[in-house]
Amino acid sequence: MIFAVFLLSPQIARSATIEELRKSIEQKNQEIQKLEADIKKYRQELSTTQTRGKTLKEEIARLDREIKKINSNITLTERQVQKKELEISALGLDIQESERKLVSLRRGLAGLIQSLFEQDQTSLVAVMMRYGILSDFFRHIGYIDLLQNKIISSVETLQTIQRDLNKKKEASEARKEELADLSKLLRTRRSAQSSAKEDKNTILSLTKNQEQAYQKLLKSQEARREALEDEVRDIEIKIKIAIDPASLPSKGHGILGSPLPDVGLLSCWQGGGGFKNCLTQFFGYTSFAAAGAYAGNGHNGVDFRAENGTPVLAAETGTIQATGDTDIGCKRASYGKWILVKHSNNLTTLYAHLSAISVSQGQSIKRGERIGLSGQSGYATGPHLHFGLYASQAVSVEAIRSKVCGRLMTLPIAAINGYLNPLDYL
């Protein structure tokens, strides 16, 4: 009886594994494309209903759509994480294969060099004496030339494989950094998901699903906002700090980077609408402020249109001075979730109304680094990013006890002359 045993060589088995990984990567790509299409659909649905609902039914429907979109974003990020892990595994197998080739080639090269060395130890006279026929002698000389050519060819192949291996290792490290960033984004999006669900549950709890109670809640929140703005304004008016203009960087485009991707510095209604994240409110005494907003005072920053979950980026390299959530002390009356970043150029930036924060106090961050996700926490009729700018010496983080809410609330407080127009530096 004859038994036939067929075994795959290690190289074929390894190639099959890489092929399986590549198929899995392609499958993840298809899943990602489908999820991106779903998110685009949710985005279109939300584009006309992003403001807080005027009725309880509208607000619950808006929150449900927002939660559905966040869930899709979470699933999308999970697939991106899985794809990145597969890419790292595939690169790992490629690296192992390249290293195996290098070891094998180096051994072969060592043998060739040893053979050539042995030939060089024999003098030409001794070689001629060894061969009785002249043609055999010349064949020996040709063999030495062949050895030399093989060595040169092996060295060139070795260098090519080594360069390829270095590139694969660099690509693997880059993928690992991207994986870490995606994992961080996933945690941030899950935090935003929790906040959205909490908002919905809080509204249902406070109103007991009654429209009349919801209308009363809206009026109460508006009254708290106005009263809190007056309280903060009274505190800031009393702060007296002399600011040397020479201590600030010269005004100019690009001193600060964009706090959001795809930003337009024009009004969404006057030329900026072509950008995803254009300006909805300018700094200072705007027409909106003149109409009674901000307790009759000027707007202390600029507002960018930004749908929930948009990455918020550090405008400049710096240190996280503090983070906070004013909703803890006074629901829907101020900044909501906020981040304050101090920069080395004597400027400090504020990012408010976030849905999630992904940095912590004392952390060093780089220009353009993602620090959170936009949202509509605090007092915000719709999702947007409030971007504030201060002379660093004029702003501090204080815990104030609101007379309206009766609880401590931590937020940035600045001298009136310490507020700067962000558009002078963007």
All domains of the chain, ordered by start, with CATH?
10-192 (1.10.287), 210-240+247-424 (2.70.70.10)
- Find, among 376, 386, 371, 239, the residue nearest to 316 by Cα: 371
Strand partners, 414: 395
Does the pLDDT of residue 74 top 60, yes or no?
A: yes
Nearest to 80 by CA among 21, 29, 34: 29
- DSSP states of 85-140: HHHHHHHHHHHHHHHHHHHHHHHHHHHHHHHHHHHHTS-HHHHHHH-SSHHHHHHH
Q: What is the pLDDT of residue 10?
A: 43
**Most confident of the following: 244-248, 364-368, 404-408:** 364-368
Q: Residue 282 CB: number of other CB atoms within 10 A?
A: 19
Q: What is the pLDDT of residues 321-367, one digit of tens each?
A: 999 999 998 888 899 999 999 999 999 999 999 999 999 999 999 99
Residue with more model confidence, 58 or 255: 255
**Range from 26-35, 59-68, 238-247, 340-349 that averages highest in pLDDT:** 340-349
Neighbours of 391 (CB within 10 A): 21
Residue with tokens 């060089």: 120
348-378 in b/e form (b: 16+ CB < 10 A) is bbbbbbbbbbbbeeeeebeeebbbbbbbbbb
Give, as one character, the DSSP assignment of residue 212. Answer: H
Distances from the Cα of 207 to the Cα of 62, 213, 378, angstroms = 16, 5, 18
User: Which comes out higher in pLDDT, residue 269 or 137?
Assistant: 269
Model pLDDT for residues 133-167, shown as the tens digit of each residue = 545 544 555 556 666 677 777 778 888 888 999 99
DSSP β-ladder status, 395-401 and 302-305:
unpaired
pLDDT computed for residue 422 by the predictor: 96
- The pLDDT confidence band at residue 315, using thresholds 50, 70 and 90, is very high
Residue 291 pLDDT > 80: no
